[in-house]
A and B are shown apart, each in its own frame.
Chain A
Amino acid sequence: MVETEAVDAQKPAKIKVRNLTISYSEKPALRNTSFDVYENEIFGIIGPANSGKTSFLKALNRMDMFTESMKVEGEIQFNGREIREWRNVYALRRRIGVVFPLPVGLPMSIYDNVTIAPKLAGIRKKAQLDEIVERCLRRAALWDEVKDRLDSLGSLLSGGQQQRLTIARALSQDPELLLLDEFSIAVDPVTTMQIEEMLKELRKEISIVLVTNLVQQARRLANRTAFFLGGECVEINDTEEMFTGEVKDTRTREYVEGRFG
């Protein structure tokens, strides 16, 4: 289904996906998909529920190791290396930050929530940890609300605050690749805008895969957008092209215009 132009050999690829098929107990969730995610871009993935978006993110982070029924076939290369050949899967996951739709404030202090990942990476100096906490919480637009109570429980924050804490935690890993799965679902529109601005800044340093239900969010942020439908990658296109110009598949036009899905 994928047009050959979508696989552009000129730009450096952060992730290369080739013939990827993901299935749960023999039931396919994503079929025979190939595309690249480049360095320093936001790659949007849109599509209705059950189209394989989240499964793709899980496969990227090797979370299939924790789901026995989940089977991943085909190739996923990260930095030019097949992810299943990384001997140290923990090192792989440390380079990939993930934010899932439901906020998870771990039942420990806000400070500890943000310092888990740096501590796992071996950072011990208090000053350095303090700096990471402030930088990540600022980027996640949460700093001003919690800077005076960093030792209170992260799990007792409001839903929107917990989601921003989750984002801060993903950033604290200093990831090369950030996977966002409907991050704005529990966040108010003003804060969402702040985070979107941060993501545009962050794009200069890392690659971001943005799975979103909000078609307009993909339009605001993504350089290129993929449209997944029923476990199939229908189309990959430059975002502006997809929304204003020529689409390669009429189903894409119908979806982005809100006529189905």
Chain B
Amino acid sequence: MFEATDLNIRQKKIEWLVRVLFLVMAIFLIAPVLTILAVLIHRGGPMISMEFLFGDPLNGMTAGGIFPALAGTIWLVAVALLVSIPVGISCAIYLSEYAPENWLTRMINLAIINLAGVPSIVHALFGVGAFVYFFRFGTSILAASLTLAIMSLPVVIVATLESLQAVPQAFREACWNMGATRWQTIRLVVLPNSTSGILTGTILEISRTAGETAPIMFTGAAMFLPFLPQSVFDQTMALSLHLYTVSTQIPDVPEALPYGVALVLIGLIIGMNALSIGFRMYLRGKKKW
């Protein structure tokens, strides 16, 4: 009665095969990440020192440090976030909590999808036209950061939307029933229970912004500047563009230098992601329903 039939055995075999297939695919995913890290640490690791991190580039960027680029990347990301977070979160709140089913809502959704699909070099050209020339910001941190902000808006909006939608509708209805307005409901119930997701999404977006090259190379990033930016209207160096410069534009760069720059950039990004993951785990630990 309980003997395995041929059918049982075949199903079991297929189950095993499928499982192994999926596992192999998943391992394929880890392989490039580990390889990249290994190569970078192996070849760029010896470059990392206090002088490298906090020194100025010397001898036509063939020696010395990367501090202006590191500081510039932090500038660019910070100003971009100042713009994209308030705009993105407001937009997501509107779409999730207020938007009725009408043509305007459909337009906004369509705009987000299209914005996410625009190649970064096209964002760069838009940034040049809009911010550098039309608004007369010149090639500056402001113009570059605004370009980055527009590029990363879809990510902020989608991440925020998902966390807002994860708050059960019954919570909102319970609040509305007590005579709360939509904004009171958002403030009392929706936002306190979606902050973790919103923050996680935002931090992930930082790492994306930090690595972009195309949108900033015509709008505000310079290949070499002998000074640090003093305001958002100055140009700046940036890690991503610096990496491009030292690996392709300058002759006689010591081989380890580009690897060192790449290692710092990816270290910055992985550090951010780790922070985000840790934060998510901490908040998941105290989930409230």
Contact = CB atoms under 8 A, between A and B. Distances in A.
A68 interface: yes
Nearest to A89: B179
Contacts of A155: 288-289
Interface string B156-185: 000000000000001101111111110010
Contacts of B176: 63, 66, 93
* Interface footprint category on A: 20 to 34
Interface string A78-105: 0000000000001111100110101011
B193 to A, nearest CB: 6
Given A63-B173, A68-B100, A104-B171, A94 B289 contact: no
B288 A104 contact: no
A108 B193 CA distance: 10
A94 B174 contact: no
A104 B174 contact: yes
B101 interface: yes
A119 B189 CA distance: 14
B250 interface: no
Interface in A36-86: 61, 63, 66, 68
Contact of A106 (B101, B171, B184): B171
Nearest to A118: B178
Nearest to A117: B178
Interface in B249-289: 288-289
A93 B177 CA distance: 6
A173 B173 contact: no
Interface in A93-141: 93-94, 97-98, 100, 102, 104-108, 116-117, 120-121
Nearest to A92: B179
Mostly, the B contact residues are helix
A90 B193 contact: no
A169 interface: yes
A61 B174 CA distance: 12
Given A107-B288, A116-B188, A169-B174, A68 B179 contact: no
Contact of B178 (A63, A68, A94, A105): A94
Interface of A: 61, 63, 66, 68, 90-94, 97-98, 100, 102, 104-108, 116-117, 120-121, 153, 155-156, 166, 169-170, 173
26 contacts: A63-B173, A66-B176, A68-B100, A90-B179, A93-B177, A93-B178, A93-B179, A97-B177, A98-B177, A100-B173, A100-B177, A105-B289, A106-B175, A107-B189, A107-B193, A107-B288, A107-B289, A116-B175, A116-B178, A116-B188, A117-B179, A120-B178, A155-B288, A156-B288, A173-B178, A173-B179
